[in-house]
Amino acid sequence: MDKDVTSADAPDAQGGYARAGGTLAFGPGKPLRLDSGGSLDHVEIAYRTYGSLNAERSNAILICHALTGDQHVASEHPITKKPGWWTQMVGPGRPLDPTKHFIICANVIGGCMGTTGPSSINPATGKPWGLSFPVITIPDMVRAQVMLIDALGVDQLFAVVGGSMGGMQALQWAADYPERVYSVVCLAAAARHSAQNIAFHELGRQAIMADPDWRGGDYAAHGVRPEKGLGVARMAAHITYLSEQALQRKFGRELQRDGLSWGFDADFQVESYLRHQGATFVDRFDANSYLYITRATDYFDMAAGHGGLLADAFVKAREVRFCVLSFTSDWLYPTPESRAIVRALNAAGARASFLEIESDKGHDAFLLDEPVMRNAVAGFLASAGQTRGLGAGGLDVGGLASGSLQP
Amino acid sequence: MSPAEAAKREDFRAILDMVRPGARVLDIGCGEGLLLEMLARENGVEGRGLELSPANVSLCLARGLAVVQGDADHDLADFPNQSFDYAVLTQTLQAVRRPREVLAELLRIGERAIVSLPNFAHWKMRWELLTHGRMPTTRALPRAWWETDNIHLCTLRDFTVLCDELGLRIEASMALADGQAARSIDPQRAIENWRAEAGLFLLSRK
């Protein structure tokens, strides 16, 4: 048997639309080919769906999650019990509307929320893969998503939507499978990792590997977890997700309690906040997954396979509609990175739209309630939906069409 | 401006007459995308836009148009050589920092350029300057000198001289006046430099 649903979440219709999901297990006849040369057998992909596939199978939207995201885009996270990481964008009346779209979100390959990754059991040894797991890439993640949408009976996705590392996957989809993608929404992303991006990731990886509990990646066998190292990695990364203004506004020089401790406790609120971010992150994330997924983004360079010409990566994607958005205060994937994508799309003759959104919230703005982003994505998807024959019902873009956004 | 109002704009109508059906058009400073929408609907044009205002870019996205946020001074370099049949720049050349370079860019990107601009030598301008000795404020140029975006105003004569210097051929010229149909003119004639409130030009390289 090629594939088998090993586990299925209990389907329900909370919020007036179908919600389902589970884990797809692919048999040995369905290996996942990897950029590193080999392939992975017995791949499992954990995913969630929201809404129903229409009769024409034309309303499927794939959401690609960011570095430490997961498939719980609009459903309660099993560990943190939070309501989903993108409920501002996904839900009835939102730009990604499960009463209208069939929304799919899957944990990436290399992840730790049910999809095969370094913490999974290597079927050949019966033990966790650890560092014997092959290095994976963004195109590998996309190839696994293709296996998933094949299994779900979707030929062409109406849209692939993602922010940050999710945006990288969305671009890769258009480059590698242009005939299977009608439109792409790429938020706060880049077509390659910069030296600074790689540098911050290396800092995080070194923090993990310097933790004695990491045990050369074999911590599971020793019954420990490199929580200190992973926490520090998260703290450093979290700073890159926020802007200087956002940090200053949120914390300034505010103290935790009256007076200084004259020691190295968390005197400042910003210290306490970062420690909390690190401490809670280790509850829901695996250290080796962090190594593998950061590596995948560091290796990401869409122009590399095309003699350095990014435009050549998109020559087959001329029919795809692209919406590229960046945020003014994002210094992790700053606007020039998005402009480079748009320039390449223009050079390739693709249908590219681009908007830089004014926000002082830094890279994380794409995860927050940003009305300009919401309106832009809603308008883009609604008009693409009309040309795709999905109709415009369910989306509140009336204000946009009648010009109420006029400055 | 509503789509119904846009349909009545004489400069839009004149541009629709100039653009070959099915052509590829880049509208620079496309605003809410109304011209692009008319070009797509009436001429079957494949359009792209460049627009400065984020709110307008959002409106264009909701209209299903492919529009990139940016401005004529900085972001035309992102478009490849000869990637469009027409590059359109309406009522914007006088507001850019480097009009000469922008004009050259239009004809690098497009096989032809369509440019409209207010004529500072229109008789009303001359009259205001002559009688009051102050920078004219008219229907075509309503803002005071200290708040206007129009930092590089010129006359029809100035424009034809610049086209000559840049080696550009003026294939068609129209005089525009609010509420009146565009009128084909010879832009070299002194009388038109008095009469035309604004000019619309179809340009190509010699």
The stretch B11-24 carries a mean pLDDT of 95
How many residues are given for chain B?
Answer: 206
For residue B124, is it within any domain?
no
For residue B43, is it within any domain?
yes
Q: Which of A346, A356, A404 to mutate to test the interface with B (most CBs of B within 10 A)?
A: A346
List of E strands, B52-187: 66-69, 84-90, 110-118, 168-176, 183-184
Enumerate residues 113 to 132 of chain B having a beta carbon within 8 A of any beta carbon in chain A: none
A150 is catalytic: no
pTM: 0.93
- Closest chain B C-alpha to A319 CA, distance in angstroms: 12
Torsion, Cα of B35, B41, B42, B46 (10° steps):
70
For residue A5, the SS3 value is strand
pLDDT digits (tens, 9 = 90+) for B64-119: 999 999 999 999 998 999 999 999 999 999 999 999 999 999 999 999 999 999 99
- Active-site hit among A330, A338, A359, A364: A330
| pLDDT at residue A54 greater than cutoff 90 | yes
Q: Kindly provide the ipTM of the predicted complex, given to two decimals.
A: 0.90
Give A-chain residues touching B108 at CB under 8 angstroms: none
pLDDT digits (tens, 9 = 90+) for A101-156: 999 999 999 999 999 999 999 999 999 999 999 999 999 999 999 999 999 999 99
pLDDT at B148: 93
- Closest chain B C-alpha to A102 CA, distance in angstroms: 21
Give A-chain residues touching B54 at CB under 8 angstroms: 355-358, 372
Structure tokens at A332: 């992790």
For residue B63, give the amino acid letter: R
Q: Which among A296, A266, A379, A221 is positioned nearest to A68, based on CA atoms?
A: A296
pLDDT digits (tens, 9 = 90+) for A341-378: 999 999 999 999 999 999 999 999 999 999 999 999 99
Structure tokens at B76: 């035309």
Tell me which fold the domain A3-192+302-401 belongs to: Rossmann fold (3.40.50)
| pLDDT at residue A400 greater than cutoff 50 | no
Give B-chain residues touching A309 at CB under 8 angstroms: none
- Closest chain A C-alpha to B104 CA, distance in angstroms: 19
The stretch B180-187 carries a mean pLDDT of 92
CB contact under 8 A, A353 and B67: yes
CATH number for the domain harbouring residue B75: 3.40.50.150
A120 is catalytic: no
Identify the DSSP state of A192. B
pLDDT at B180: 84
Residue of A nearest to B24 (CA): A349
Residue of A nearest to B46 (CA): A351
For residue A365, the SS3 value is helix
Contact A231, A284 (CB under 8 A): no
- State which residues form the domain around B196: 3-119+150-205
A164 is catalytic: yes
| Confidence band for A273, pLDDT divided at 50, 70 and 90 | very high
Residue of A nearest to B31 (CA): A406
Using CB atoms, which residue from A321, A349, A405 is nearest to B58? Answer: A405
Q: Tokens 């109508």, residue?
A: B13
Using CB atoms, which residue from A321, A354, A382 is nearest to B62? Answer: A382
Using CB atoms, which residue from B48, B61, B78 is nearest to A343? Answer: B78
Q: What are the residue ranges spanned by the domains of chain A?
A: 3-192+302-401, 197-297
Give A-chain residues touching B2 at CB under 8 angstroms: 403
Contact B82, B112 (CB under 8 A): no
CB contact under 8 A, A383 and B78: no
Structure tokens at A291: 């190594």
| pLDDT at residue A404 greater than cutoff 50 | no
Enumerate residues 50 to 79 of chain B having a beta carbon within 8 A of any beta carbon in chain A: 53-55, 57-70, 75, 78-79
| Confidence band for A16, pLDDT divided at 50, 70 and 90 | confident
Sequence-distant contacts of A211-216: CB under 8 A, at least 24 apart: A211/A287, A214/A287, A216/A130, A216/A131
- Closest chain B C-alpha to A338 CA, distance in angstroms: 11
Environment class of A38 (CB within 10 Å of its CB; exposed 0-12, middle 13-18, buried 19+): exposed
Using CB atoms, which residue from A342, A346, A405 is nearest to B59? Answer: A405
Q: How far is CA A124 from CA A2, A27, A40, A129, A164, in A?
A: 18, 14, 11, 10, 34
Tell me which fold the domain A197-297 belongs to: Rna Polymerase Sigma Factor; Chain: A (1.10.1740)
For residue B54, is it within any domain?
yes
For residue A164, give the amino acid letter: S
- Active-site hit among A97, A267, A363, A364: A363
The stretch A20-49 carries a mean pLDDT of 95
d(CA A45, CA A42): 10
d(CA B78, CA B71): 11
Using CB atoms, which residue from A339, A378, A406 is nearest to B55? Answer: A406
DSSP string, A220-261: GGGT---HHHHHHHHHHHHHHHS-HHHHHHHHTT-BSSSS--
CB contact under 8 A, A346 and B61: no
The stretch B163-179 carries a mean pLDDT of 93
pLDDT digits (tens, 9 = 90+) for A200-209: 999 999 999 9
Domain count, chain B: 1
At A138, give phi and psi (nearest 5°). -60, -45
d(CA B41, CA A242): 44
Average pLDDT score over chain B = 94
